[in-house]
Structure 1
Amino acid sequence: MSTYLLVHGAWHSGEAWDRVVPLLTTAGHRVLAPSLTGHGDTAHLLTPEVGLETYVDDVAGLIEAEDLTDVILVGHSFAGLVVSSVANRLPDRIGHLVYLDAMVPADGETAVDVMPITATLIEAAAASGTPWRVPPMPELPDPHGLFGITDPDDKAWVRGMLCDEPVLAYRQPVRLDHPAVAAIPRTHIHCVGQEIDGITRRPVPATAQVFELRSGHDCMVIVPDELAALLLKLA
Protein backbone atom coordinates (compact mmCIF):
# COMPACT_ATOMS: atom_id res chain seq x y z
CA MET A 1 0.00 0.00 0.00
CA SER A 2 1.29 3.44 -0.94
CA THR A 3 0.27 6.78 0.53
CA TYR A 4 -0.77 9.55 -1.84
CA LEU A 5 -1.04 13.14 -0.65
CA LEU A 6 -2.81 15.24 -3.28
CA VAL A 7 -2.40 19.02 -3.04
CA HIS A 8 -4.81 21.23 -4.98
CA GLY A 9 -3.81 24.31 -6.91
CA ALA A 10 -4.72 27.97 -6.51
CA TRP A 11 -8.39 28.86 -5.92
CA HIS A 12 -9.47 25.21 -5.67
CA SER A 13 -10.01 22.95 -2.66
CA GLY A 14 -9.43 19.33 -1.74
CA GLU A 15 -12.81 18.60 -3.32
CA ALA A 16 -11.13 18.91 -6.73
CA TRP A 17 -9.71 15.41 -6.23
CA ASP A 18 -13.05 13.74 -5.50
CA ARG A 19 -13.04 11.76 -8.75
CA VAL A 20 -9.45 10.55 -8.35
CA VAL A 21 -9.42 9.58 -4.67
CA PRO A 22 -11.79 6.58 -4.98
CA LEU A 23 -9.82 5.25 -7.95
CA LEU A 24 -6.63 5.19 -5.89
CA THR A 25 -8.26 3.83 -2.75
CA THR A 26 -10.00 1.07 -4.69
CA ALA A 27 -6.55 0.02 -5.89
CA GLY A 28 -5.59 -0.45 -2.24
CA HIS A 29 -3.80 2.78 -1.42
CA ARG A 30 -4.18 5.42 1.26
CA VAL A 31 -5.10 8.86 -0.08
CA LEU A 32 -5.25 12.25 1.59
CA ALA A 33 -6.56 15.33 -0.23
CA PRO A 34 -6.71 18.23 2.24
CA SER A 35 -7.97 21.73 1.60
CA LEU A 36 -5.30 24.32 2.27
CA THR A 37 -5.96 27.12 4.76
CA GLY A 38 -8.53 29.54 3.35
CA HIS A 39 -9.99 27.00 0.93
CA GLY A 40 -12.87 24.57 1.09
CA ASP A 41 -14.10 24.05 4.63
CA THR A 42 -11.50 26.52 5.92
CA ALA A 43 -12.47 29.35 3.56
CA HIS A 44 -13.38 31.48 6.57
CA LEU A 45 -9.71 31.45 7.64
CA LEU A 46 -8.49 33.35 4.59
CA THR A 47 -6.65 36.52 5.71
CA PRO A 48 -3.89 38.73 4.27
CA GLU A 49 -1.41 36.81 6.43
CA VAL A 50 -2.11 33.48 4.69
CA GLY A 51 0.59 32.65 2.16
CA LEU A 52 2.80 29.98 0.68
CA GLU A 53 4.40 29.27 4.05
CA THR A 54 0.93 28.68 5.52
CA TYR A 55 0.25 26.05 2.88
CA VAL A 56 3.62 24.40 3.46
CA ASP A 57 2.80 24.28 7.18
CA ASP A 58 -0.58 22.70 6.33
CA VAL A 59 0.90 19.88 4.28
CA ALA A 60 4.02 19.28 6.36
CA GLY A 61 1.92 19.36 9.51
CA LEU A 62 -0.42 16.73 8.10
CA ILE A 63 2.48 14.47 7.17
CA GLU A 64 3.91 14.74 10.67
CA ALA A 65 0.57 14.44 12.47
CA GLU A 66 -0.29 11.27 10.53
CA ASP A 67 3.32 10.03 10.76
CA LEU A 68 3.40 9.46 7.01
CA THR A 69 6.48 8.10 5.28
CA ASP A 70 7.39 7.28 1.68
CA VAL A 71 4.67 9.70 0.57
CA ILE A 72 3.78 10.15 -3.09
CA LEU A 73 3.33 13.91 -2.92
CA VAL A 74 1.34 15.37 -5.82
CA GLY A 75 1.09 19.10 -6.48
CA HIS A 76 -1.26 20.49 -9.12
CA SER A 77 -0.57 23.83 -10.79
CA PHE A 78 0.44 26.45 -8.17
CA ALA A 79 0.93 23.61 -5.66
CA GLY A 80 4.17 22.75 -7.42
CA LEU A 81 5.59 25.47 -5.17
CA VAL A 82 3.94 23.97 -2.10
CA VAL A 83 5.17 20.41 -2.61
CA SER A 84 8.67 21.66 -3.41
CA SER A 85 8.98 23.45 -0.08
CA VAL A 86 7.36 20.54 1.77
CA ALA A 87 9.92 18.15 0.28
CA ASN A 88 12.66 20.55 1.31
CA ARG A 89 11.39 20.54 4.88
CA LEU A 90 10.72 16.79 5.15
CA PRO A 91 12.85 15.06 2.51
CA ASP A 92 13.11 11.82 4.49
CA ARG A 93 9.32 11.39 4.42
CA ILE A 94 8.78 11.92 0.68
CA GLY A 95 9.07 8.89 -1.59
CA HIS A 96 8.11 10.57 -4.86
CA LEU A 97 7.38 14.12 -6.01
CA VAL A 98 4.77 14.62 -8.74
CA TYR A 99 4.38 17.93 -10.56
CA LEU A 100 0.93 17.77 -12.15
CA ASP A 101 0.80 20.47 -14.83
CA ALA A 102 2.52 22.43 -12.11
CA MET A 103 4.81 25.36 -11.49
CA VAL A 104 8.40 24.12 -11.16
CA PRO A 105 10.44 26.50 -9.00
CA ALA A 106 14.08 26.90 -8.11
CA ASP A 107 15.24 27.84 -4.63
CA GLY A 108 14.19 31.36 -3.66
CA GLU A 109 11.70 31.83 -6.48
CA THR A 110 8.13 33.04 -6.08
CA ALA A 111 5.09 32.24 -8.19
CA VAL A 112 5.70 35.50 -10.07
CA ASP A 113 9.22 34.35 -10.94
CA VAL A 114 8.02 30.98 -12.18
CA MET A 115 5.03 32.30 -14.08
CA PRO A 116 5.31 36.07 -14.72
CA ILE A 117 1.68 36.32 -15.85
CA THR A 118 0.84 36.00 -12.13
CA ALA A 119 2.00 39.60 -11.69
CA THR A 120 -0.95 40.71 -13.82
CA LEU A 121 -3.35 39.07 -11.37
CA ILE A 122 -1.69 40.82 -8.44
CA GLU A 123 -1.88 44.17 -10.22
CA ALA A 124 -5.59 43.67 -10.90
CA ALA A 125 -6.15 42.86 -7.22
CA ALA A 126 -4.26 45.99 -6.19
CA ALA A 127 -6.75 48.10 -8.14
CA SER A 128 -9.72 46.49 -6.39
CA GLY A 129 -11.33 47.16 -3.02
CA THR A 130 -9.55 44.14 -1.54
CA PRO A 131 -5.96 44.39 -2.82
CA TRP A 132 -4.79 41.34 -0.88
CA ARG A 133 -7.26 38.98 -2.57
CA VAL A 134 -6.76 37.55 -6.06
CA PRO A 135 -10.01 36.22 -7.56
CA PRO A 136 -10.04 33.07 -9.71
CA MET A 137 -8.99 33.39 -13.32
CA PRO A 138 -11.99 34.06 -15.56
CA GLU A 139 -13.50 31.46 -17.83
CA LEU A 140 -12.06 31.55 -21.36
CA PRO A 141 -13.76 30.76 -24.66
CA ASP A 142 -13.77 27.10 -25.62
CA PRO A 143 -11.72 25.00 -25.94
CA HIS A 144 -10.03 26.47 -22.86
CA GLY A 145 -13.16 26.94 -20.76
CA LEU A 146 -12.73 27.08 -16.98
CA PHE A 147 -9.24 25.72 -16.25
CA GLY A 148 -9.69 23.58 -19.35
CA ILE A 149 -13.15 22.34 -18.34
CA THR A 150 -15.84 22.72 -20.99
CA ASP A 151 -18.63 20.44 -19.70
CA PRO A 152 -21.35 22.72 -18.21
CA ASP A 153 -22.02 20.50 -15.20
CA ASP A 154 -18.34 20.14 -14.43
CA LYS A 155 -17.81 23.88 -14.73
CA ALA A 156 -20.66 24.52 -12.31
CA TRP A 157 -19.19 22.03 -9.83
CA VAL A 158 -15.70 23.52 -9.93
CA ARG A 159 -16.98 27.09 -9.90
CA GLY A 160 -18.76 26.26 -6.65
CA MET A 161 -15.51 25.33 -4.90
CA LEU A 162 -13.39 28.26 -6.09
CA CYS A 163 -12.30 30.98 -3.69
CA ASP A 164 -9.94 33.94 -3.75
CA GLU A 165 -6.20 33.44 -3.28
CA PRO A 166 -4.14 35.70 -0.99
CA VAL A 167 -1.47 37.82 -2.70
CA LEU A 168 1.08 36.64 -0.14
CA ALA A 169 0.87 33.13 -1.60
CA TYR A 170 2.36 34.49 -4.83
CA ARG A 171 5.01 36.63 -3.16
CA GLN A 172 6.62 34.25 -0.68
CA PRO A 173 9.64 32.32 -1.99
CA VAL A 174 10.08 28.57 -2.23
CA ARG A 175 12.78 26.94 -0.14
CA LEU A 176 14.75 24.26 -1.99
CA ASP A 177 18.14 24.30 -0.31
CA HIS A 178 18.18 20.86 1.34
CA PRO A 179 20.64 18.62 -0.54
CA ALA A 180 18.48 15.53 0.08
CA VAL A 181 15.69 16.89 -2.12
CA ALA A 182 17.69 16.17 -5.27
CA ALA A 183 17.60 12.45 -4.48
CA ILE A 184 13.78 12.25 -4.35
CA PRO A 185 12.37 10.64 -7.54
CA ARG A 186 10.35 13.11 -9.63
CA THR A 187 7.62 12.74 -12.17
CA HIS A 188 6.12 15.53 -14.27
CA ILE A 189 2.68 15.10 -15.81
CA HIS A 190 1.97 17.61 -18.56
CA CYS A 191 -1.55 18.34 -19.72
CA VAL A 192 -1.35 18.83 -23.48
CA GLY A 193 -3.66 19.83 -26.29
CA GLN A 194 -5.11 23.04 -24.82
CA GLU A 195 -2.04 25.23 -24.27
CA ILE A 196 -2.72 28.91 -23.54
CA ASP A 197 -0.68 31.71 -25.12
CA GLY A 198 1.54 33.46 -22.60
CA ILE A 199 1.97 30.45 -20.32
CA THR A 200 5.18 28.55 -20.94
CA ARG A 201 6.36 25.31 -19.37
CA ARG A 202 9.81 25.11 -17.85
CA PRO A 203 12.27 22.43 -18.95
CA VAL A 204 12.14 19.25 -16.90
CA PRO A 205 15.33 17.94 -15.22
CA ALA A 206 16.93 15.10 -17.18
CA THR A 207 16.57 12.80 -14.18
CA ALA A 208 12.78 13.17 -14.01
CA GLN A 209 10.27 11.03 -15.88
CA VAL A 210 7.59 12.79 -17.91
CA PHE A 211 4.09 11.71 -18.86
CA GLU A 212 1.72 13.58 -21.16
CA LEU A 213 -2.00 13.62 -20.55
CA ARG A 214 -4.34 14.89 -23.25
CA SER A 215 -6.53 17.14 -21.15
CA GLY A 216 -7.23 20.66 -20.07
CA HIS A 217 -5.49 21.96 -16.95
CA ASP A 218 -7.93 20.53 -14.37
CA CYS A 219 -7.23 16.97 -15.46
CA MET A 220 -8.44 15.52 -12.14
CA VAL A 221 -11.92 16.70 -13.14
CA ILE A 222 -11.75 16.09 -16.88
CA VAL A 223 -9.93 12.75 -17.17
CA PRO A 224 -9.75 11.26 -13.64
CA ASP A 225 -9.39 7.67 -14.85
CA GLU A 226 -6.43 8.47 -17.07
CA LEU A 227 -4.79 10.54 -14.32
CA ALA A 228 -5.29 7.82 -11.72
CA ALA A 229 -3.76 5.26 -14.08
CA LEU A 230 -0.62 7.38 -14.35
CA LEU A 231 -0.41 7.93 -10.58
CA LEU A 232 -0.80 4.21 -9.96
CA LYS A 233 2.35 3.60 -12.01
CA LEU A 234 4.26 5.28 -9.18
CA ALA A 235 2.98 3.04 -6.37
Structure 2
Amino acid sequence: MTTFVLCHGAWSGGWGYRRVAEIIRAAGHDVFIPTYTGVGERSHLASPDVNLETHIQDVLGLIKWERLEEFVLVGHSYGGMVITGVADREFEKISRIVYLDAFLPKDGQCLNDLTTAAQQEHMFNLAKEQGDGWQVPRPDGSIADTVSAEDREWIESLSSAQPLATFTQKLKLAGNHLKIADKVYVLATEKKATPFYQFAGWTRQQEGWQTVELPIHHHLLQSLPEKTAEVIMGR
Protein backbone atom coordinates (compact mmCIF):
# COMPACT_ATOMS: atom_id res chain seq x y z
CA MET A 1 0.00 0.00 0.00
CA THR A 2 1.19 3.49 -0.90
CA THR A 3 0.16 6.73 0.77
CA PHE A 4 -0.82 9.68 -1.42
CA VAL A 5 -1.26 13.33 -0.43
CA LEU A 6 -3.31 15.18 -3.06
CA CYS A 7 -3.14 18.99 -3.07
CA HIS A 8 -5.79 20.94 -4.95
CA GLY A 9 -5.68 24.08 -7.06
CA ALA A 10 -7.09 27.57 -6.57
CA TRP A 11 -10.80 28.19 -5.91
CA SER A 12 -11.15 24.52 -5.07
CA GLY A 13 -10.91 22.16 -2.10
CA GLY A 14 -10.34 18.53 -1.32
CA TRP A 15 -13.64 17.82 -3.08
CA GLY A 16 -11.95 18.41 -6.44
CA TYR A 17 -10.04 15.12 -6.12
CA ARG A 18 -13.12 13.06 -5.24
CA ARG A 19 -13.18 10.89 -8.37
CA VAL A 20 -9.42 10.44 -8.53
CA ALA A 21 -9.24 9.54 -4.84
CA GLU A 22 -11.98 6.92 -5.18
CA ILE A 23 -9.97 5.18 -7.90
CA ILE A 24 -6.73 5.26 -5.93
CA ARG A 25 -8.41 3.97 -2.78
CA ALA A 26 -10.11 1.21 -4.74
CA ALA A 27 -6.62 0.08 -5.77
CA GLY A 28 -5.80 -0.44 -2.09
CA HIS A 29 -3.93 2.75 -1.28
CA ASP A 30 -4.26 5.38 1.44
CA VAL A 31 -5.22 8.91 0.36
CA PHE A 32 -5.16 12.25 2.18
CA ILE A 33 -6.73 15.33 0.58
CA PRO A 34 -6.15 18.46 2.66
CA THR A 35 -8.31 21.52 2.00
CA TYR A 36 -6.36 24.74 2.45
CA THR A 37 -7.27 27.45 4.93
CA GLY A 38 -9.83 29.91 3.56
CA VAL A 39 -11.28 27.82 0.73
CA GLY A 40 -13.74 24.96 0.32
CA GLU A 41 -15.19 23.73 3.60
CA ARG A 42 -12.63 25.95 5.34
CA SER A 43 -13.73 29.13 3.55
CA HIS A 44 -15.05 30.49 6.87
CA LEU A 45 -11.38 30.91 7.86
CA ALA A 46 -10.60 33.23 4.95
CA SER A 47 -8.89 36.52 5.75
CA PRO A 48 -6.43 38.95 4.13
CA ASP A 49 -3.67 37.23 6.12
CA VAL A 50 -4.08 33.86 4.37
CA ASN A 51 -1.18 33.44 1.96
CA LEU A 52 0.90 30.76 0.24
CA GLU A 53 2.81 30.01 3.44
CA THR A 54 -0.51 29.37 5.19
CA HIS A 55 -1.35 26.68 2.65
CA ILE A 56 2.11 25.16 2.86
CA GLN A 57 1.69 24.98 6.64
CA ASP A 58 -1.69 23.28 6.17
CA VAL A 59 0.00 20.40 4.35
CA LEU A 60 3.03 20.31 6.64
CA GLY A 61 0.62 20.03 9.57
CA LEU A 62 -1.10 17.07 7.93
CA ILE A 63 2.25 15.35 7.42
CA LYS A 64 3.24 15.93 11.04
CA TRP A 65 0.02 14.92 12.78
CA GLU A 66 -0.71 11.96 10.53
CA ARG A 67 2.93 10.87 10.93
CA LEU A 68 3.34 10.40 7.21
CA GLU A 69 6.52 8.81 5.85
CA GLU A 70 7.39 7.62 2.35
CA PHE A 71 4.40 9.14 0.59
CA VAL A 72 3.60 10.45 -2.89
CA LEU A 73 2.92 14.20 -3.03
CA VAL A 74 0.66 15.50 -5.80
CA GLY A 75 -0.37 19.02 -6.78
CA HIS A 76 -2.77 20.35 -9.42
CA SER A 77 -2.49 23.87 -10.87
CA TYR A 78 -1.91 26.33 -7.96
CA GLY A 79 -1.24 23.21 -5.89
CA GLY A 80 2.15 23.09 -7.59
CA MET A 81 3.14 26.19 -5.61
CA VAL A 82 2.07 24.48 -2.40
CA ILE A 83 3.75 21.11 -2.98
CA THR A 84 6.99 22.79 -4.04
CA GLY A 85 7.14 24.60 -0.72
CA VAL A 86 6.22 21.45 1.18
CA ALA A 87 8.70 19.26 -0.68
CA ASP A 88 11.52 21.73 -0.12
CA ARG A 89 11.13 21.16 3.64
CA GLU A 90 10.08 17.50 3.81
CA PHE A 91 11.88 16.04 0.78
CA GLU A 92 13.28 13.10 2.75
CA LYS A 93 9.76 11.81 3.42
CA ILE A 94 8.54 12.07 -0.17
CA SER A 95 9.07 9.06 -2.44
CA ARG A 96 7.53 10.68 -5.51
CA ILE A 97 6.26 14.13 -6.48
CA VAL A 98 3.71 14.69 -9.24
CA TYR A 99 2.76 18.02 -10.82
CA LEU A 100 -0.61 17.84 -12.58
CA ASP A 101 -0.68 20.71 -15.09
CA ALA A 102 0.72 22.70 -12.20
CA PHE A 103 2.92 25.68 -11.48
CA LEU A 104 6.55 24.79 -10.85
CA PRO A 105 8.18 27.85 -9.27
CA LYS A 106 11.79 28.71 -8.64
CA ASP A 107 13.20 30.43 -5.59
CA GLY A 108 11.81 33.93 -5.15
CA GLN A 109 8.82 33.49 -7.43
CA CYS A 110 5.12 33.83 -6.71
CA LEU A 111 2.28 32.51 -8.84
CA ASN A 112 1.70 35.91 -10.43
CA ASP A 113 5.31 35.93 -11.63
CA LEU A 114 4.48 32.86 -13.71
CA THR A 115 1.46 34.34 -15.50
CA THR A 116 1.03 37.10 -18.06
CA ALA A 117 0.64 40.78 -17.23
CA ALA A 118 -2.94 40.63 -18.50
CA GLN A 119 -3.75 37.69 -16.23
CA GLN A 120 -2.21 39.45 -13.25
CA GLU A 121 -4.21 42.60 -13.92
CA HIS A 122 -7.40 40.56 -14.23
CA MET A 123 -6.82 38.92 -10.84
CA PHE A 124 -6.17 42.25 -9.14
CA ASN A 125 -9.26 43.78 -10.75
CA LEU A 126 -11.43 40.87 -9.62
CA ALA A 127 -10.16 41.27 -6.07
CA LYS A 128 -10.74 45.02 -6.14
CA GLU A 129 -14.20 44.89 -7.70
CA GLN A 130 -15.64 41.71 -6.20
CA GLY A 131 -13.42 40.60 -3.32
CA ASP A 132 -12.95 43.60 -1.01
CA GLY A 133 -9.43 43.95 -2.34
CA TRP A 134 -8.13 40.68 -0.89
CA GLN A 135 -10.16 37.81 -2.37
CA VAL A 136 -10.25 36.64 -5.98
CA PRO A 137 -13.48 34.94 -7.12
CA ARG A 138 -13.20 32.27 -9.78
CA PRO A 139 -13.01 34.13 -13.13
CA ASP A 140 -16.09 33.81 -15.32
CA GLY A 141 -15.51 31.35 -18.13
CA SER A 142 -12.43 29.79 -16.55
CA ILE A 143 -14.04 26.37 -16.84
CA ALA A 144 -15.89 27.01 -20.12
CA ASP A 145 -16.02 23.85 -22.24
CA THR A 146 -13.23 22.01 -20.41
CA VAL A 147 -15.70 19.68 -18.68
CA SER A 148 -19.27 18.50 -19.19
CA ALA A 149 -22.14 20.86 -18.43
CA GLU A 150 -23.00 18.79 -15.36
CA ASP A 151 -19.44 18.93 -14.04
CA ARG A 152 -19.21 22.64 -14.78
CA GLU A 153 -22.29 23.27 -12.65
CA TRP A 154 -20.81 21.08 -9.89
CA ILE A 155 -17.43 22.87 -9.92
CA GLU A 156 -18.92 26.35 -10.06
CA SER A 157 -21.34 25.59 -7.22
CA LEU A 158 -18.50 24.53 -4.92
CA SER A 159 -15.87 27.07 -5.97
CA SER A 160 -14.80 29.58 -3.33
CA ALA A 161 -12.89 32.84 -3.58
CA GLN A 162 -9.10 32.55 -3.35
CA PRO A 163 -7.15 34.84 -0.99
CA LEU A 164 -5.12 37.17 -3.20
CA ALA A 165 -1.98 36.82 -1.07
CA THR A 166 -1.70 33.17 -2.12
CA PHE A 167 -0.93 34.49 -5.61
CA THR A 168 1.43 37.29 -4.58
CA GLN A 169 3.59 35.84 -1.81
CA LYS A 170 6.99 34.81 -3.12
CA LEU A 171 8.29 31.36 -2.31
CA LYS A 172 11.64 30.88 -0.61
CA LEU A 173 13.33 27.66 -1.69
CA ALA A 174 16.57 25.94 -0.77
CA GLY A 175 16.31 23.57 -3.73
CA ASN A 176 15.71 20.45 -1.65
CA HIS A 177 12.54 19.59 -3.58
CA LEU A 178 14.72 18.77 -6.57
CA LYS A 179 16.50 16.07 -4.55
CA ILE A 180 13.42 13.84 -4.73
CA ALA A 181 14.44 11.00 -7.03
CA ASP A 182 11.08 10.37 -8.71
CA LYS A 183 9.64 13.56 -10.20
CA VAL A 184 6.77 13.71 -12.71
CA TYR A 185 5.29 16.61 -14.65
CA VAL A 186 1.93 16.07 -16.38
CA LEU A 187 0.97 18.53 -19.12
CA ALA A 188 -2.62 18.85 -20.34
CA THR A 189 -2.26 19.56 -24.07
CA GLU A 190 -5.82 20.23 -25.26
CA LYS A 191 -5.26 23.98 -24.93
CA LYS A 192 -2.02 25.39 -26.29
CA ALA A 193 -1.86 28.83 -24.69
CA THR A 194 -1.34 27.95 -21.03
CA PRO A 195 1.48 28.84 -18.63
CA PHE A 196 2.16 25.17 -17.99
CA TYR A 197 4.03 24.52 -21.24
CA GLN A 198 7.01 26.45 -19.86
CA PHE A 199 7.34 24.01 -16.97
CA ALA A 200 6.99 20.90 -19.12
CA GLY A 201 9.61 22.32 -21.46
CA TRP A 202 11.98 22.76 -18.54
CA THR A 203 11.39 19.31 -17.02
CA ARG A 204 12.07 17.63 -20.37
CA GLN A 205 15.59 19.02 -20.24
CA GLN A 206 16.29 17.93 -16.66
CA GLU A 207 17.57 14.63 -15.33
CA GLY A 208 15.32 12.84 -12.89
CA TRP A 209 12.08 14.09 -14.42
CA GLN A 210 9.42 12.20 -16.34
CA THR A 211 7.22 14.43 -18.51
CA VAL A 212 3.80 13.08 -19.48
CA GLU A 213 1.37 14.63 -21.95
CA LEU A 214 -2.37 14.03 -21.71
CA PRO A 215 -4.71 15.20 -24.53
CA ILE A 216 -7.16 16.83 -22.13
CA HIS A 217 -8.07 20.23 -20.72
CA HIS A 218 -6.73 21.69 -17.48
CA HIS A 219 -9.53 20.22 -15.35
CA LEU A 220 -8.24 16.68 -15.77
CA LEU A 221 -9.29 15.67 -12.25
CA GLN A 222 -12.91 15.80 -13.35
CA SER A 223 -12.72 15.04 -17.06
CA LEU A 224 -10.11 12.25 -17.06
CA PRO A 225 -10.01 10.80 -13.53
CA GLU A 226 -9.05 7.24 -14.53
CA LYS A 227 -5.97 8.22 -16.52
CA THR A 228 -5.03 10.88 -13.99
CA ALA A 229 -5.19 8.30 -11.19
CA GLU A 230 -3.04 5.91 -13.22
CA VAL A 231 -0.36 8.55 -13.72
CA ILE A 232 -0.43 9.44 -10.04
CA MET A 233 -0.02 5.77 -9.12
CA GLY A 234 2.85 5.41 -11.58
CA ARG A 235 1.15 2.97 -13.92
TM over 0.5: yes
In 2, are the aligned partners of 1:111 and 1:118 still within 8 Å (CA)? Answer: no
Q: CA deviation at 1:94?
A: 1.3
Report 1:1-235 matches (<5 A). Answer: 1-116=1-116, 117-125=118-126, 127-128=128-129, 130-139=132-141, 145=144, 148-149=146-147, 151-178=148-175, 180-184=176-180, 185-196=182-193, 200-202=197-199, 203-205=201-203, 206-207=206-207, 208-233=209-234
Q: Please list every run of 5 or more consecutive structure 2 residues that lacks an aligned counterpart in the other structure.
A: none
2:210, 2:227 → 1: CA distance? 17
> Kindly tell me: are residues 128 and 44 of structure 1, through their superposed partners in 2, closer, same or farther at Cα, counting changes over 3 Å?
same
> Kindly tell me: are residues 105 and 28 of structure 1, through their superposed partners in 2, closer, same or farther at Cα, counting changes over 3 Å?
same
Q: CA deviation at 1:99?
A: 0.8
> Kindly tell me: are residues 38 and 67 of structure 1, through their superposed partners in 2, closer, same or farther at Cα, counting changes over 3 Å?
same
In 2, are the aligned partners of 1:74 and 1:97 still within 8 Å (CA)? Answer: yes
Q: Percent identity?
A: 30
Please list the CA deviations of residues 33-84 of structure 1 after superposition, one character each: whole Å capped at 9, or x if unmatched: 1211111211111110001000000001101110101121111001111000
Task: Give the number of aligned pairs.
Answer: 228
Q: CA deviation at 1:125?
A: 3.1
Higher helix share: 2
> Kindly tell me: are residues 216 and 227 of structure 1, through their superposed partners in 2, closer, same or farther at Cα, counting changes over 3 Å?
same
1:175, 1:95 → 2: CA distance? 22
Query: What is the RMSD computed on CA atoms of the aligned residues?
Result: 1.8
| Aligned partner letter, 1:145 | A
Q: CA deviation at 1:213?
A: 1.2
Matched residue of 2:198: which SS?
coil
Length-normalised TM-score, structure 2: 0.91
| Aligned partner letter, 1:38 | G
Q: CA deviation at 1:118?
A: 4.2
| Aligned partner letter, 1:95 | S
1:136, 1:41 → 2: CA distance? 16
Q: Please list every run of 5 or more consecutive structure 1 residues that lacks an aligned counterpart in the other structure.
A: none
| Aligned partner letter, 1:135 | P
| Aligned partner letter, 1:170 | F
1:186, 1:157 → 2: CA distance? 31
Length-normalised TM-score, structure 1: 0.91
Deviates most, 201-210 or 219-228: 201-210
In 2, are the aligned partners of 1:121 and 1:134 still within 8 Å (CA)? Answer: no
